[in-house]
A = this chain, B = another copy of it.
Amino acid sequence: MNNFQFWSPTEFIFGKGTENETGKYVKKHGGSKVLLHYGGGSAERSGLLGRVRASLEGCGIKYVELGGVKPNPRDTLVYEGIDVCRREGIDFILAVGGGSVIDSAKAIAMGVPYDGDFWDFYTIKDPDEALPVGTVLTIAAAGSEGSGDSVITKEDGGLKRGAGSDVLRPRFSILDPELTCTLPAYQTACGATDIMAHVFERYFTNTKEVEITDRLCEAVLLTMIRETPIAVAQPDNYDARANIMWAGMVAHNNIVGVGREQDWNSHGIEHELSALYDCAHGAGLAVIMPAWMEYVCKHDAARFAQVAVRVWGCQMDYFDPEKTAREGIKRFRSFLHSIGMPINFAELGAKEEDIPKLVEKFGLGGGETGGFVHLTSADIAEIYKIAAKAQL
């Protein structure tokens, strides 16, 4: 096991009706004038924003609103948010929405106290400070409610890049599973795929003897395999929604990833898809992740066999572990298909002829990217090709 530092200071308030306590927690965590940040109309139509506003007002907290966050959130709205916060003397940012809204809120939070361009934190440096952020989560997927990560897309050129620092971890996050009961099956499945991908990116490691985090990863995956089909078939099943919502936090606050090298190449390879086609991140991952697994499986067939047996219930072939490993990947793809996810480019709406463009945007040039298996541009192209043609 490697040395590590782990700090997850977010206060989580979980369960039915907890959004009505938003004001209390903003106050507890030092907010007096809030930027209320959200996305499109669904939070308004559902009455959620109304309940959050009422809770803020009930606690005497002033707020300024900034809606309009889109999936794959853009730098342009972040610049606008930074201006609003400076002009209005905002001291706390409250994100009401899913990962996109929270990521946008974190970008604004870093940008406000920074003299330079906030995009620096997505390209060349880490932030030293940020305004405090709180969240009211509406989609179980990104895990941004408990993480120190943020992903933003540059409108000009479609570059999608990530920033990460403990200063970005939310001060509090309110998780009411009932808010996710209205999510359509497709979005539910996209979120579940993202959650499972967050685990797999940590699971495939070259670090030896990390049994505790291996087992915690498997715990989240087994939960998702049990609960996702329930939530897809019965959208208003509260317990399935609750298990998935908490699993989504656990999958990405890094408690399942400490002490080990991690990969994250599938996320990088997927980001080019969602940046180019504006498809859902989870749908892109459903196409990319099994393809990446097939491409790198030989590197450590024992690790792939372990997850095949422990998570996918495969019988171990003691004489041919790679066979077991590949059976596990096959079951993962079948599972994704069963919950309604695309499994190849055609189903995603991507085009095989765009592969050279995707590889170029990935930006390795003649270099390589690190991780479980180091990848060159040629490797990335091969993974896109496997993804393009994949079948059950």
CA distance A208 to B237 in the complex (A): 13
Interface residues of A in 1-29 (CB under 8 A from B): 1-18
Contact between A5 and B1 (Cβ–Cβ < 8 Å)? no
A123 to chain B: closest CB distance in Å?
A: 27
Bound-complex Cα distance A10 to B10 (A): 10
The answer to whether A62 has its CB under 8 Å from any CB of chain B is no
Q: Which of A240-248, A286-294, A363-371 contacts B (4 or more CB under 8 A)?
A: A240-248
In the complex where A219-B215, A239-B209, A243-B212 touch, is A9 in contact with B9 (Cβ < 8 A)?
yes
Instruction: Using known A-B contacts A211-B226, A243-B211, determine if residue A259 contacts B4 with beta carbons closer than 8 Å.
Output: no
A45–B364 Cα distance when bound, in Å, is 53
Q: How many Å lie between the Cα of A212 and that of B177 in the bound state?
A: 14
* Smallest beta-carbon distance A12→chain B, Å: 5
Judged by a CB distance under 8 angstroms, whether A379 is at the interface is no
Q: Residues 232-263 of chain A: 1 if any B CB is under 8 Å from the residue's CB, otherwise 0? A: 00000011101100110010000100110000
Q: Contacting A247 at CB < 8 Å: which of B15, B212, B219?
A: B212
Q: Is A189 an interface residue (CB 8 A)?
A: no
Query: How many protomers of this protein does the assembly include?
Result: 2
For A14, give its contact among B6, B226, B250 (CB under 8 Å): B6
By Cβ-Cβ distance, the 5 closest A-B pairs, closest first, are A3-B15, A209-B239, A215-B219, A9-B9, A1-B242
- Residues of chain B within 8 A of A177, CB atoms compared: 1
Contact A216 B250 (CB under 8 A): yes
In the assembled complex, the CB of A239 is this many whole angstroms from the nearest CB of chain B, namely 4
The yes or no answer to A218 lying at the interface (CB within 8 A) is: yes
User: Is A222 in the interface zone, CB < 8 Å from B?
Assistant: yes
Most buried by B among A6, A222, A226, A247: A6
Cβ-based interface call for A227 (8 A) = yes
Residues of B with C-beta under 8 A to A208 = 239
Judge if A314 is at the interface, Cβ distance under 8 Å: no
Which residues of chain B come closer than 8 Å to A242, judged between CB atoms? Answer: 1, 209, 259
11 residue pairs A–B, Cβ–Cβ below 8 Å: A6-B12, A6-B14, A7-B10, A7-B11, A14-B258, A15-B259, A208-B239, A209-B239, A209-B243, A212-B247, A215-B220
What is the CA–CA distance of A13 and B7 in the complex, to the nearest angstrom? 9
Given A216-B216, A216-B219, does the pair A18, B1 have CB atoms closer than 8 Å? no
Q: Does residue A32 face the partner (Cβ distance < 8 Å to B)?
A: no
A165 within 8 A of B: no
Inter-chain contact B14/A3, CB cutoff 8 Å? yes
Q: Report the minimum CB–CB distance from A184 to chain B (whole Å).
A: 22
A213 to B208, CA, bound (A): 26
- Point out the residues of chain B lying under 8 angstroms from A218, CB to CB: 215, 219
User: Does the CB pair B255–A255 fall under 8 Å?
Assistant: yes
Chain B residues, CB < 8 A from A9: 7-9, 11
Q: A253 CB to closest chain B CB, in angstroms?
A: 9
A219–B212 touching, CB < 8 Å: yes
A377 within 8 A of B: no
Q: Could you tell me which residues of chain A, from 151 to 175, have a CB within 8 Å of some CB in chain B? A: none
Chain B residues lying within 8 Å of A213, measured Cβ to Cβ, are 246
CA distance A18 to B255 in the complex (A): 19
Known: A4-B14, A212-B250. 13 other contacts (CB 8 A): A1-B243, A3-B15, A3-B17, A6-B11, A7-B12, A8-B8, A9-B9, A209-B240, A212-B219, A212-B223, A212-B243, A219-B219, A250-B255
